[in-house]
Structure 1
Amino acid sequence: MGRFLLRRAGQALIVAWGAISVVFLVVRVVPGDPATLILGPDASPAQLASVRADFGLDEPLWQQYLAHMGEVLRGDFGDSWRLGGGAMGAVLDRFPATLTLAALALVITLAAATRSACCARGGPARSSTCSSRRARWSGRRCRRSGSASC
C-alpha cells in the first residue's frame, strides 16, 4: 500500500510539473507584451523597459523558467498586478466559492447517476418508458420498482 501511494505521489508531482511548465510556456509564447498590458499602450519605452526588468522579462526564456520554478518550489506564486496583492491570497479568497460550486456539481452528478442507474436497471422493456421521462428528477421510477437502493 505504501509503495502504491508513493508511486501515485510521484505521478502527481510529474503532472503538476508538466502543468506548471505548459502554463509558463503558453503565457510566454502568446503574442503580446505583458509590460504593455500592465502599463497600457501609451507608456514610454523607458517605462516599458523598467517593467520588463522588474518582472525579469528581459532575461532569456530558460532563465525565466528556472526562476519561476524556484519561486514555485518556495511557495511564492508572485503578486497579482491586477488585484494589487499576492496571487495565492487571491486564490484563497475565492476558494470557498470554488468549493461551493464543486459541491453543487457533485450533487447534480450524483442525482443524474442515480437516476440513470435506476433506468438502466429496469431492463429493455422499461428503458423506453424511462428514457422518455429523463427530464424529470423525481425518482418515481425507482419508487415504483420497489428497490431500496434507489
Structure 2
Amino acid sequence: MGRYILNRMVTMIPILFGISVLVFTIMHMVPGDPASIMLGTNATPEAIAAMRQSMGLDKPVVTQYLNWISGLLQGNFGESVRTGEAILPEILDRFSVTLQLSIFAAIIGWTIAVPVGIVSAVRAHTSIDVVGRIAAMLGISVPNFAFGTLLLLTLSLYFGWFPPVDYVDFWVDPAEAFKVFILPAVTMGVVLAGGIMRMTRSAFLETLDKDFIRTARAKGNTEWKVVFGHAFRNSALPIVTLAGMQIGYLLGGAVIVEQLFSIPGLGQYILDGIHQRDYPVVQGGVLFVALVFVTVNLLVDIIYTWIDPRIKY
C-alpha cells in the first residue's frame, strides 16, 4: 500500500504540471490587460508600461511561467496584482469557507440520496421507485443556480425563514453559520443527491440479483440484514467512486452558488480574479483546487481496500 501511495503521488506531478501549463496559457489568452484595468481608462501609455514592468508582464510568456512555477516549488503562490497581498494565505482562508459549505452540502446530499436509492432498488418498479427516479432526474436536470434562486425567492424573501445574513465562521458562531450555509448547502446538496441516488439504485439492483443474496434470503435472514449486512458493502464501490468525484466538484465547482449567496469562498475568490485579470490569483486558485481533487481521488482509492479486502495494490 505504501508503495502504491508513493507511485500515485509521483503520477500527480505531471497531472498538476499539465494543469499549470493549461491554466497559465488560458489566462494569458483572455482579452484585457491587468495593468490597464488597474490604472483605469485615463492612464497614460507610459504609466501602463511602468505598471506592466512592475508586474512582470513585460517579460516573455515562457519566462513568466518559469518564474511562477519556480515560486510554486518553493511554496510561494505569488502576490495578487490587484492588492499586492500574498495569495496562499488568502486561498487557505477562502478554502476553509468552501470546505465548510461542501461538508454541509455533502451531508444533506448523501442523507437524501443513499436511503432513497436503497429503497428505490429494494422496491424496484413500484410507485416508490418511480417517485425516487423522478426526484433523481429532477436533481440532475435542474441547474444549481436556478434552484438556488428559487430558494432565495421563496424561503428567504417571501417567507422570511432564512433571511440573508453576513458570513460567520462555523467555529465562531455555529448557529449563525447554519443560517448562512443552509440555503446554499441545500442548493448544492439536492443537485448532488440526484447522481448519487441513481448510482445507489443501480448498484443495489445489480447486487440484489447476485446468487449470494438469494442464498442469504434462503437462509431466513431478514430483508434488513440482507440489504445492509450483505448487499450494502458489495454495492459501495461505485457509490464511493461517484461520491469522491462529487467532493471534488463541491470544492471546485461552488463558484456560482458562492456568488449567488455571497459566500466568501475559494470559488468566488477565483471568479473575482478572472474578472479583474488577476493572473496569479486564478492560476494559484485553480492549481490548489486541482491538488485537492487528485488528493481526494487518492483517498477514495485507499478507502476501496477497506470496503473490499479483495482489492490489493
Provide the C-alpha distance between the structure 2 equivalents of 1:83 and 1:77, rounded to a whole number of angstroms.
14
Answer yes or no: is the 8 Å Cα contact 2:55–2:81 preserved in 1.
no
What residue in structure 2 maps to residue 3 of structure 1? 3
Matching residue of 2:14: 14
Specify which of 193, 199, 224 is matched with residue 147 of structure 1. Answer: 224
1:96-128 deviations in Å (ceiling 9; x for gaps):
21111110221123121331122112233x3x3
Alpha-carbon distance, 1:27 to partner: 0.9
Question: Number of residues paired by the alignment?
Answer: 140
Tell me how far 1:60 sits from its aligned partner: 1.0
Match of 2:100 in 1: 100
Q: Which amino acid aligns with 2:121?
A: A
Measured on the aligned residues, the alpha-carbon RMSD in Å equals 2.4
CA distance in 2, matches of 1:56, 1:84: 13
Structure 1 pair 21–114 and aligned structure 2 pair: CA distance change class (3 A): farther
| Equivalent residue number for residue 132 of structure 1 | 131
Q: Structure 1: which amino acid aligns with 2:110?
A: L
How far the C-alpha of 1:79 sits from its partner, in A, is 1.5
Partner of 2:203: none
Q: Aligned partner of 1:34: which letter?
A: P
Please report how far the alpha carbon of residue 33 of structure 1 lies from its aligned counterpart in structure 2 after TM superposition: 1.1
Within 1, Cα distance between the matches of 2:91 and 2:45? 33
The structure that is helix-richer by fraction is: 2
TM-score by length of 2: 0.41
> Gaps spanning 5+ residues in structure 1: where?
136-144
Partner of 1:142: none
Give the Cα–Cα distance (whole angstroms) in 2 for the partners of residues 62 and 119 of structure 1: 55
Higher CA-based Rg = 1
Deviations 1:19-40 (A, max 9, x none): 2211111111111111112211
1:1-150 superposed matches below 5 A:
1-111=1-111, 112-124=113-125, 126=126, 128-132=127-131, 135=135, 147=224, 149=228
- The whole-number CA distance in structure 1 between the counterparts of 2:84 and 2:224 is 56
CA distance in 2, matches of 1:93, 1:83: 16
Normalising by the residue count of structure 1, what TM-score does the alignment of the two structures yield? 0.80
Higher mean C-alpha deviation, range 21-30 or range 108-117: 108-117
Matches of 2:104 and 2:83, distance apart in 1: 28
Structure 2: unaligned runs, 5 residues or longer: 136-221, 233-313
- For 1:87 and 1:130, the matched residues in 2 are separated by 49
Amino acid at match of 2:104: L
Q: CA deviation at 1:6?
A: 1.7
Partner of 1:141: none
Distance in 2, Cα, partners of 1:81 & 1:33: 12
2:65, 2:81 → 1: CA distance? Answer: 20
Does the CA contact (< 8 Å) of 2:68 and 2:78 recur in 1? no
Task: Report the equivalent of 2:211.
Answer: none
Percent identity between the aligned chains?
A: 34
- 2:122, 2:83 → 1: CA distance? 52
Query: Cα deviation per residue 1:63-93 (whole Å; 9 max; x = unaligned)?
Result: 1111111111111112224344211121122
Going from structure 1 to structure 2, the CA distance change for 1:31 and 1:96 (only over 3 Å counts) comes to: same
Letter aligned with residue 124 of structure 2: G
- Counterpart in 1 of 2:258? none
